[in-house]
Amino acid sequence: MTSFVLVGGGVASAATAAGLRSQGYDGRIVLVSDELHLPYERPPLSKEFLAGTFDSGGIQANPEGWYADNDVEVLLGTRADAIDPARRRVTLSDGGVLAYDALVLATGVRARTLPGFSGDRVHSLRSIADSERLAARLTPGSHLVILGGGFIGCEVAAIAATQGVRVTVFERGAAPLARVLGPDIGDAMMAIHGEHGVEIRTGQSVTEMKETASRIELSTRDGEVVECDEVLVGIGSVANAELAAAAGIAVDGGIVTDEFGRTSAPDVYAIGDVASRHHPTYGRTLRVEHHDTAMRHGGNAARNILGEAVPFTEDHYFWSDQYSHSIKSIGHGGVEATKVLRGSVADRSFSVFSHAGGRITSVVTLDRPQDLMTTRKLLATPHEVTTDQLADPDFDLKSLLPQRQRTRRAEASR
């Protein structure tokens, strides 16, 4: 009997297992995870789960009974310690050895740490345990300092501020999220957080931390000392690629793969956040940390393991929810693209399009889901549009869609 081993307990592994069974594979599947929970969704950990409005039962990637019902062996609390690609073996932390016909590495990422910043009052956010520990400390009137104004920092700031916590965010750039999403989103989110009482200190970094009996003292680069109760370090992540590197598999920031998810070792695939994957449509190798992409990589891996040769050409999509606002993005802009603003930053309803070669290559939207949905369709369709048309709010983006898609839409809305 063939045996497929999936290393990692995130959505990418879970989607691979589901994909293999739905494609009719009836051989052995073993999913190895060093976590104690069945694979779960991480996005709620900095949103509803942290706020206490989400039930952990509903956070699972596949329903609890799914693994037993589908004869998928799950080894929880077990690390894959070594891979031997020549002998097709994985050695586990409990001393066990698994033979494989195909191996999927979906080991994800871990939070980047700051040397000297550790202890009971210092947090990072990747797991259910991290979210539960942080939630327990978000008491009204306490002071939380967040290092890093990226997605996790901003989402936690929103939840904490809503719960009456005093929040200060230190962001080295000019505005939160601006480095990844551009200055318009940065300015809008800076204003939105300010209205909720979050203090965002831009162009500023914290260099040192001292823990006293009851509090933390943080020193800034400019020599200021800021006291707080808890610190969240949200300064990005590091790919868990060491297992692959030690086995001689090519790694460059993440585990390098082709468009089929294949690594440099035979029958070893890498998917999800850990993969630096060639995207044929974008014409480059990218490592992205998006829930949707990780899941879709899983479905794609299942097909390729079973003998198809399906390149992953889907557009990268992600979202971030903060207060009542939602940022959504699809596509890949690239530095060479022209950025075009549509809508109003002041009204907090706008989209920033990337435009290259006479077409849209990506969009980032703030509270404009319709632009996102139309762009999703346009990215999959030949179209031509000028930057003036994109910037003109009276220009109907849907008119760029082929007639049949517009007709279908009109019929559906009747």
Ligand X SMILES: Cc1cc2nc3c(=O)[nH]c(=O)nc-3n(C[C@H](O)[C@H](O)[C@H](O)COP(=O)(O)OP(=O)(O)OC[C@H]3O[C@@H](n4cnc5c(N)ncnc54)[C@H](O)[C@@H]3O)c2cc1C
How many CB atoms are closer than 10 A to CB 386?
Answer: 12
Nearer to ligand X among residue 52 and residue 389 (C-beta): 52
Report residue 167 CA to chain centroid gap.
23
Hey, is 336 helix, strand or coil?
coil
User: Shortest gap between Cβ of 153 and ligand X (angstroms)?
Assistant: 10
Alpha carbons 7 and 247: distance in angstroms, whole number: 14
Whether the CB-CB separation of 177 and 150 falls below 8 Å is answered with yes
Nearer to ligand X among residue 35 and residue 267 (C-beta): 35
Binding site for ligand X (CB under 6 A): 7-13, 32-35, 42-43, 45-46, 79-80, 106-109, 125-126, 152, 240, 243, 272-273, 289-292, 294, 318-320
Strand partners, 284: 279
User: Shortest gap between Cβ of 96 and ligand X (angstroms)?
Assistant: 12
Element (H, E) at 46: none
Nearer to ligand X among residue 26 and residue 242 (C-beta): 242
Nearer to ligand X among residue 36 and residue 410 (C-beta): 36
Alpha carbons 388 and 341: distance in angstroms, whole number: 10
User: Shortest gap between Cβ of 325 and ligand X (angstroms)?
Assistant: 13
Alpha carbons 30 and 72: distance in angstroms, whole number: 6
User: Shortest gap between Cβ of 190 and ligand X (angstroms)?
Assistant: 19
Nearer to ligand X among residue 134 and residue 401 (C-beta): 134
How many CB atoms are closer than 10 A to CB 213?
Answer: 4
Alpha carbons 35 and 216: distance in angstroms, whole number: 30
Nearer to ligand X among residue 20 and residue 243 (C-beta): 243
Nearer to ligand X among residue 13 and residue 361 (C-beta): 13
User: Shortest gap between Cβ of 63 and ligand X (angstroms)?
Assistant: 17
User: Shortest gap between Cβ of 50 and ligand X (angstroms)?
Assistant: 8
Hey, is 359 helix, strand or coil?
strand
Whether the CB-CB separation of 116 and 138 falls below 8 Å is answered with no
User: Shortest gap between Cβ of 192 and ligand X (angstroms)?
Assistant: 16
Whether the CB-CB separation of 176 and 358 falls below 8 Å is answered with no
Q: How many residues are recorded in the chain?
A: 414
Alpha carbons 331 and 383: distance in angstroms, whole number: 15
User: Shortest gap between Cβ of 271 and ligand X (angstroms)?
Assistant: 7
DSSP-H helix ranges across 203-337:
242-246, 291-305
Nearer to ligand X among residue 330 and residue 340 (C-beta): 330
What backbone phi and psi angles, to 5 degrees, belong to 98? -110, 130
